[in-house]
Structure 1
Amino acid sequence: MKPFLDMSGKRVLITSGTRGAGKATVRLFRELGADVLTTARNKPTDLPEKSFVSADLTTGDGVAKLADAVRNRLGVVDVIIHMLGGSSAPAGGYSALNDEAWEKEISLNLMSAVRLDRELVPAMEARGTGVVIHVTSIQRTLPLPDATTAYAAAKAALSTYSKALARQVSPRGVRVVRVSPGWIETEASIELAKRLAAEHGGNVDAGKQMIMESLGGIPIGRPSRPDEIADLIAFLSSDRAGTITGTEYVIDGGTIPVA
């Protein structure tokens, strides 16, 4: 029997594929038979050299280095998955964000994808086929003013850019889809829960509860797991989702209320 999802023969680029949901996505696509190239600033020990490119995608030079590696190693790319994102901005709301903080958030969460698409999507258009997945965030509609104003604004910009790109390239055979996660239970988020617990004299479960309460609650009572994010991305990247483009899939355990 043919498997429900089969990515055999697909050439796939996944940014930020060494931790959290990115790592889970790399692992799943390999299991499904794809030829995967991933990237981060530093190479982990568990990835073969041929499958990894060290690059800083917040810079134009880093994006150009990665694009050249894609052409040299994969020839062409069938699927681009923009997992890269995050925030290093200080807490304190808008007044704590200087120009440098804003530029870092925008370079990481918006311009890395814009530049990489500019390098690689034209070849997809020329072939008349391809998939681009932009990983945004529910914070584009549910920002946390004290800590994530710039991150949320950059992800909102990424979402708008993605919609525009979809309208332009979908008639030429290239699908563009957004995946919008809520809180994902990654190594980094567990460390945050531990810090919160230590500050308030509780255990790690109490720390997780604090994070969920800061988001207004998660109806299913837990964050998403990295492999659940990867499962959704794999489906949307596959031929099973052949008519899906220009839209956003929220995966947040019900954090954002819906009618």
Structure 2
Amino acid sequence: MDSIFKGQVALVTGGTKGIGKAIADTLKDKGAEVIVTARNTPEAGINGYYFIAADLTQPESAEMIAKEIIEKYGRIDIIVNNAGANLGPGGGYAALSDEDWYNDWQLNFMTAVRINKALLPTMINQNSGSIINISTGAAKQPIWDMTMSYSSAKAALNAYSKALASELGPKGIRVNVVSPGLVKTTLMLDFIENIAASSGSNFDDTFKAIMDKVGVPLNRMAEPLEVASLVAFLASPEAKYITGTNYSVDGGASPTV
């Protein structure tokens, strides 16, 4: 499978670190030309990727990104909407302001909607393409005191993805969702540190409390590459009859099949 994406162009939003970087690296290693977006160029630089600096929460960014990709490459084959984060404070409904709700929905839902809308005309003209929206297990198992606004935005992403798959299937375009659970990224580790600090606890005790609350039979966080490997499979021809599906990568945390 080393050159399975040769000749294909892939966009990975939020592709400079964490899960996004693992996805970008995996697609590149398998032959794709990969474009990554982030607000700022990483200090380590970008090697082997085409980088577009963009704040995806700004509505005009999607059209700018799409225009630059099509002008440079003339096509788009894979879109991975990975940009996202749990921005709202913990504490439940009373702790969330209108701005908290707005920010989580802008980053975790509307960014994907806008990117897809801007690039889909090209995919439709090609009569081919694969879109993979990165969601979260918390969309199905929201934690009221940690992920309320984030979970709701990602739940909307799940429903949108299913509807989009139904619309685009006849046009040769597949849409799937990957829902990670706890993944060992800098963002996740910082999230745990912040909860620990706000509760007067330490990292280890806070991590154990989260693991106990979520319930992970494999008893560890996922590595980013374990998510990226599934994304690469779903984008590949080997998954050409798979669309409209949501795959969990959560170590068995989901209580139902």
Measured against the shorter chain, the TM-score band is: over 0.9
Q: What is the Cα-based RMSD across aligned positions, in Å?
A: 1.8
How much does 1:163 deviate?
Answer: 0.5
Q: Give 1:6's aligned residue.
A: 4
How much does 1:49 deviate?
Answer: 8.9
Q: Give 2:187's aligned residue.
A: 188
Q: Give the whole-Å Cα distance in 1 for the aligned partners of 2:196 and 2:83.
A: 28
How much does 1:159 deviate?
Answer: 0.6
Q: How many residues align?
A: 254
Tell whether the 8 Å contact from 1:82 to 1:113 is kept in structure 2 after alignment.
yes
Q: Give 1:173's aligned residue.
A: 172
Q: Give the whole-Å Cα distance in 2 for the aligned partners of 1:205 and 1:37.
A: 37
The 3-state SS of whatever aligns with 2:133 is strand
Q: Give 1:28's aligned residue.
A: 26
Q: Give the whole-Å Cα distance in 1 for the aligned partners of 2:195 and 2:112.
A: 32
- The equivalent position to 1:250 in structure 2, one of 233, 238, 248, is 248
- The equivalent position to 2:227 in structure 1, one of 221, 226, 229, is 229
Tell whether the 8 Å contact from 2:14 to 2:36 is kept in structure 1 after alignment.
yes
Tell whether the 8 Å contact from 2:185 to 2:224 is kept in structure 1 after alignment.
yes
The 3-state SS of whatever aligns with 2:230 is helix
Consecutive unaligned residues of structure 1, counting only runs of 5 or more, are: none
Q: For 1:1-259, list aligned pairs within 5 A.
A: 3=1, 6-44=4-42, 45-48=44-47, 51-194=50-193, 199-201=200-202, 205-215=204-214, 217-258=215-256
The 3-state SS of whatever aligns with 1:158 is helix
Tell whether the 8 Å contact from 2:33 to 2:49 is kept in structure 1 after alignment.
no
More deviation in 189-198 or 123-132? Answer: 189-198
Tell whether the 8 Å contact from 1:93 to 1:149 is kept in structure 2 after alignment.
yes
How much does 1:195 deviate?
Answer: 5.5
Q: Give the whole-Å Cα distance in 1 for the aligned partners of 2:3 and 2:234.
A: 10
Identical aligned pairs, as a percentage?
A: 38
Q: Give the whole-Å Cα distance in 1 for the aligned partners of 2:206 and 2:96.
A: 26
Tell whether the 8 Å contact from 1:58 to 1:112 is kept in structure 2 after alignment.
yes
How does the TM-score come out when normalised to structure 1? 0.92
Tell whether the 8 Å contact from 1:5 to 1:235 is kept in structure 2 after alignment.
no
1:34-61 per-position Cα deviation (integer Å, ceiling 9, x unaligned): 1000101001133049610000111111
More deviation in 60-69 or 17-26? Answer: 60-69
1:97-122 per-position Cα deviation (integer Å, ceiling 9, x unaligned): 22211111111011101111111112
Q: Give the whole-Å Cα distance in 1 for the aligned partners of 2:204 and 2:91.
A: 26
Distance 1:21 1:98, change over 3 A: same
Q: Give the whole-Å Cα distance in 1 for the aligned partners of 2:130 and 2:67.
A: 19
Q: Give the whole-Å Cα distance in 2 for the aligned partners of 1:192 and 1:110.
A: 20
